[in-house]
Each structure stands twice: as C-alpha cells, then as structure tokens.
Amino acid sequence: MRSDVQNQVLSIIAREALRAPEDLRNEMTLDELGLDSLGLVEVIFAIEETFDVSVPFNANDPAAAQFDISSVGAIIAAVEKLISGDTPSAAVA
Amino acid sequence: MRRVVITGAGTINALAEGVAATHRAMAEGRCGIGPLNFPDADRLNIRIGAQIRGFAPQDRFDLSKLALYDAFTQYALVSADEAMAQAGLEAAPDPARWGVILGTAGGGHTTANDAYRAVYADGKNRVHPFTVPKLMANAAPAHLSIRYGLQGPGFSVTTACASSNHAIGLAFQMVRAGLADGMLTGGSEAMLNFGGLKAWEGLRVMSPDGCRPFSADRNGMVQGEGAGVFVIETLEGALARGAAPLAEIAGFAMNSDAGDIVMPDRDSAARAIVGALADAEMAPEEVGYINAHGTGTAANDRIETAAIRQVFGARAEAVPVSATKSMHGHCIGGTGAVELLACLMALREGVLAPTLGYGTPDPECDLDYVPNTARRGVSVGAVLSNAFAFGGSNAVLALRAI
C-alpha cells in the first residue's frame, strides 16, 4: 500500500507529465516523463502548496539542492523527509 | 544611410546617479548589491538586490507632477535630464522630427503592486486616481515627450531583459532611415517590490547570495533597478549644432529563438551577433570589448559563451567579455541601457568594466571575462552589447568610437 504522501506526490508528477498516476514507477526519471525545467518548477510549486513546505531548490544548481529529484521515487522520499522536518528550511534555496 | 551618434547619456542605478559616478564605480569594481529594503522583504526567500538608495523624489520633482510618476518614470526623467544637458539641449531642436523610445519590462510595477496591496491586503475599496496613467508601460516615454517637447514617435518596447536594446536599436534604425532626426532612447525598470520579487523567486533562478557571472560557482541572477537614457541623432545634425558625439551606433540586429520560453538558444544568439556585425559592416577583428548579457544563471552564461565562440572562432579568447550585472544587478527592461554605459567607458576611456564575483573557472565558460578588476589603458575601437531575453528575444548593438 502506498501512503497518502506517496499518492499525492505521484498525482502531482502525473498531472504535470500528462500521465495517469498508476503509469508512474519509482525508478522513472523526470526526463523519461518528458518534464522540462519549467515542468519541474511547477512540480515543486505544487508540492510546496500541497504539503505547506518550502522545497530547497535552485534551478541553476539542482545538484547542490538538498532535495533529490533524480527519480520519481527520490522525489517521494525527499518530500517525506521534508515533511518530517529532516531537511533544512528553503531560506537558502 | 545616415550615420547615428550618441551625444548625451544619463543614468541612475544602484551604483550611482550620473554617468561619471557610475563609470567610477565600474572602474573601481564596486558592487551595488545588498539587502533589499521594502515592505514585507522579510517574507522573501531571496533578500538581496541592487536597489537604488538615497534617492528622494520629493526633492527632485514638483509635487503636483510627482503624483503622476511611478519610480520607473522618475528614473527615466532623472536620466534624461542628464543626457539632455550633456547633449546641450533644453528641448527637442525640431519637435516633430524628434521622438522617444524606451524599454521597460514591468512599466509602473510598483504602482500596480501598491494598488493591489490596497485592495487585496488592506481591504480598501479604492486606489489612487492616477493608478492607470502611472502604471502604463508608456508612461516614462510620455513624460519625457512632455518635458522636452518630443512630438515625433514616442512609445515603449517590452521584451523582458532585452527591452532596452530593442528600444535603442529601433531608435537607431529610425534616425538612420530618416524617419526621425533625433531620439531619446534607453530604458527604465523599477520592479524591486514584494510582488515583483515574489514572482521572480517562484521561477527558482535567483541567487540568494550574489551575482557571479561565468564563474563555476554561479547560482543565479540578482535583480536590480534603474535607468539609462541617451540622446541620439544624426552625425550631421550633431556637428551642425556643435554637439560632441560620444560614440557612433554602427549596427543592430534582433531575432527570435522561436524555441523555449525561458531557455536561451546558442545558434539564435550567434545569429543576432553576426547580424549586428553585418549591419555595422564591422569585422569581428574590430571588436575590442563585448558587454555580455551575463546574467549569472547556469544556462545563460554557458550558452552565451558558446554563441560568442561560434561567431569569433579561435579569436574568441582574445576578446574581453564582461558582465556588469555583477555590479548593478539585472535591471531587466532597463539593463541594456545601463550596460551601454560600460560600452561608452570602453570606447571613450579605454577602461573595461570587470565581471565581479568571479572565482572558479567553469570549463564551459572559457573566455576572458575581465575577472574582478577593471582593465585600464585598453584601446577599444568597437564594441558589442548583447541582450538575450526570456521569450527568446535577442537584440545586439554594435558601436564604434568616434
């Protein structure tokens, strides 16, 4: 069973990628899903609005952000971590 | 075709008010970026910018007129006064043959921000009666036309970060083609307010800690504000009335990526540079300085470098390229006008403004960026000024010493 958080993140990514949530698998990358940099920024915005969190992410340097966007599963894990309060605030995003 | 020269220049920006003081700041490598100061700035994630400080509009304008001037109009007026004085003009010499074309992206953005705050946040049911004439994007050129009696063409152009270059390029083309004899041109921007910064913050391209163009550790752009205004006219007209030309506008080219709405495109940028050189009948070997678009974003700086390499080939490394946004911030629709001042400094004083914040070389940005310290005693006969905007709108100016 997937948790509510997992389902919500999946539906956010699916909506941006114009796919059905059940078509998404954890190992898929955003590239594979056809999401470009603007699509990614929309995903992050939707995550912030849905979970009332700030995501530390700067499009100029995604690698340095403490928010792993390398795959669908990584994003779900990053959101779960963010909600649990393990990730520093986005003030330095 | 008629030759077109600049006979006056004026500015206000985060470095200074006035061209001489701005040139001094650029030559000293001063940085105008600091903590932002306006209502609700504490609610921003990005809290730095190149904000104009110490400007007191109530001491500069009649209070009856000030009620009609958004900050972007105020900056344009202050800059135009300086440019007109340098050109030795109090008013248009031949009103119907002189006009004004300015660039702006946000127009009266602060006026709109204040009005929205009043009705949405403060729950008020009315806004200031001059809200519309203050916020309209053509307010600045309109007030310049009123002040100096410019009765020829007068309008704003808006192409985001390329607005000023498009404005100057259009004004140049009109004077060269004989559609006007003189123009006030340049651009103005005043978007440093809570709503404006929130919008930029949302795109995730802003740096939280500084503008470091072309440096490997760059992490985004830093917003600025300000204006640059120039008096341009035919060489013949300038000489006839005894005005001293500061530089010649030799060529201009503009095009569109027709691709992505925010990602720049190397081939298209290169095509704009080649177009400006061709329009000016300027050999690449003539170019002694390029004022880069150089925003400090990962994408722009890498792609702009590749475009310059594509045009200049092996000689690219011999052409100094600097990004003065590292000093005055990204003045968006006004930025090309402020950056043209660095071009004038190169052509007239032989001083190349530096790229501040340059630390670690990036293998994909491998040109001579005049890092951190200005270069003096350089003989520069011709320059280019690049602008590659969101929307894929590109505009490149080519100038020659005179």
Helix or strand (DSSP H, E) at B345: helix B335-349
Assess whether B224 and B271 both reside in one domain.
no
For residue B260, list chain A residues with Cβ-Cβ distance below 8 A. Answer: 36
- Output the pLDDT for position A90: 45
- Output the pLDDT for position B123: 97
Instruction: List the one residue out of B358, B373, B321 whose CA is nearest residue B215.
Output: B358
Assess whether B171 and B263 both reside in one domain.
no
Query: Has residue B246 been placed in a domain?
Result: no
Assess whether B221 and B313 both reside in one domain.
no
Which residue ranges form the domains of chain A, and what is each CATH number?
A: 4-87 (1.10.1200.10)
- Output the pLDDT for position A44: 94
- Output the pLDDT for position B41: 96
Query: Has residue B245 been placed in a domain?
Result: no
Assess whether B221 and B179 both reside in one domain.
yes
Contact A59 B203 (CB under 8 A): yes
Q: Which of B189, B220, B240 is the last residue of a domain?
A: B240
Q: What is the spatial order of strands in the sheet that B4-13 belongs to?
A: B154-157, B98-103, B182-189, B226-234, B4-13, B247-256, B393-400, B382-389, B287-291, B321-322
- Output the pLDDT for position A88: 56
For residue B206, list chain A residues with Cβ-Cβ distance below 8 A. Answer: 58
Looking at the predicted structure, is the pLDDT value of residue B375 above 80? yes
pLDDT, one tens digit per residue, over B123-134 is: 999 999 999 999
How many domains are there within chain B? 2
Contact B208 A41 (CB under 8 A): no
Instruction: Please give the average per-residue pLDDT across B142-164, as a whole number.
Output: 98
Assess whether B227 and B263 both reside in one domain.
no
Query: Has residue B125 been placed in a domain?
Result: yes
Assess whether B63 and B186 both reside in one domain.
yes
Please give the share of chain B, as a percent, with pLDDT higher than 70.
100
Assess whether B99 and B200 both reside in one domain.
yes
Looking at the predicted structure, is the pLDDT value of residue B113 above 80? yes
Contact A60 B298 (CB under 8 A): yes
User: Shortest CB distance from B202 goes to which of A45, A60, A90?
Assistant: A45
Assess whether B283 and B365 both reside in one domain.
yes
More confident residue, B159 or A61: B159
Half-sphere exposure of B100 (CA within 13 A, CB side): 31
The residues, ordered by sequence, that sit 6+ positions from B55 with a Cβ below 8 Å of its Cβ are B12, B17, B74, B78
Domain that holds residue B298: 251-400
User: Shortest CB distance from A59 goes to which of B204, B208, B218?
Assistant: B204
User: Shortest CB distance from A91 goes to which of B45, B206, B220?
Assistant: B45
Assess whether B318 and B189 both reside in one domain.
no
Query: Has residue B310 been placed in a domain?
Result: yes
- Output the pLDDT for position B400: 98
Query: Has residue B91 been placed in a domain?
Result: yes
Contact A38 B297 (CB under 8 A): no
Find out whether A51 and A79 touch, Cβ atoms under 8 Å: yes
Instruction: List the one residue out of B165, B51, B20, B45 whose CA is nearest residue B103.
Output: B165
pLDDT, one tens digit per residue, over B85-101 is: 999 999 999 999 999 99
Distance CA B277, CA B353 (A): 22
Assess whether B221 and B290 both reside in one domain.
no
Find out whether B321 and B292 touch, Cβ atoms under 8 Å: yes
SS3 B303: helix
Contact A61 B262 (CB under 8 A): no
User: Shortest CB distance from B205 goes to which of A44, A59, A64?
Assistant: A59
* Predicted confidence band of residue B356 (pLDDT cuts 50, 70, 90): very high
- Output the pLDDT for position A62: 74
pLDDT, one tens digit per residue, over B44-54 is: 999 999 999 99
Active site residue B161: yes
Assess whether B224 and B78 both reside in one domain.
yes
Helix or strand (DSSP H, E) at B387: strand B382-389
Instruction: Please give the average per-residue pLDDT across B325-353, as a whole number.
Output: 98
pLDDT, one tens digit per residue, over B258-285 is: 999 999 999 999 999 999 999 999 999 9
* Predicted confidence band of residue A92 (pLDDT cuts 50, 70, 90): very low
pLDDT, one tens digit per residue, over B190-201 is: 999 999 999 999
Active site residue B330: yes
Assess whether B261 and B174 both reside in one domain.
no
Instruction: Please give the average per-residue pLDDT across A10-18, as a whole number.
Output: 95
Which residues of B have a CB under 8 Å from any CB of A?
A: 45, 202-208, 218-220, 260-263, 297-299
- Output the pLDDT for position A1: 64
For residue A88, list chain B residues with Cβ-Cβ distance below 8 A. Answer: none
Q: Which of B188, B217, B240 is the last residue of a domain?
A: B240
Q: Which of B188, B211, B240 is the last residue of a domain?
A: B240
Indicate which CATH number applies to the domain containing B209.
3.40.47.10
| Chain centroid, CA B186 distance in Å | 7
Instruction: Please give the average per-residue pLDDT across A64-87, as a whole number.
Output: 88
Looking at the predicted structure, is the pLDDT value of residue B159 above 50? yes
Looking at the predicted structure, is the pLDDT value of residue B244 above 90? yes
The single residue of B23, B109, B143, B161 carrying the catalytic annotation is B161
Distance CA B57, CA B52 (A): 12
Q: DSSP secondary structure string, A7-60? A: HHHHHHHHHHHTS-GGG--TT--TTTTT--HHHHHHHHHHHHHHHT------TT
Contact A59 B298 (CB under 8 A): yes
A29-43, B7-21, B312-326: range with lowest mean pLDDT: A29-43
The single residue of B23, B166, B328, B330 carrying the catalytic annotation is B330
For residue B261, list chain A residues with Cβ-Cβ distance below 8 A. Answer: 38
- Shortest distance, CA A72 to any CA of chain B (angstroms): 20
- Output the pLDDT for position B1: 87
Query: Has residue B341 been placed in a domain?
Result: yes
Nearest residue in A to B261, CA atom: A38
* Predicted confidence band of residue A87 (pLDDT cuts 50, 70, 90): low
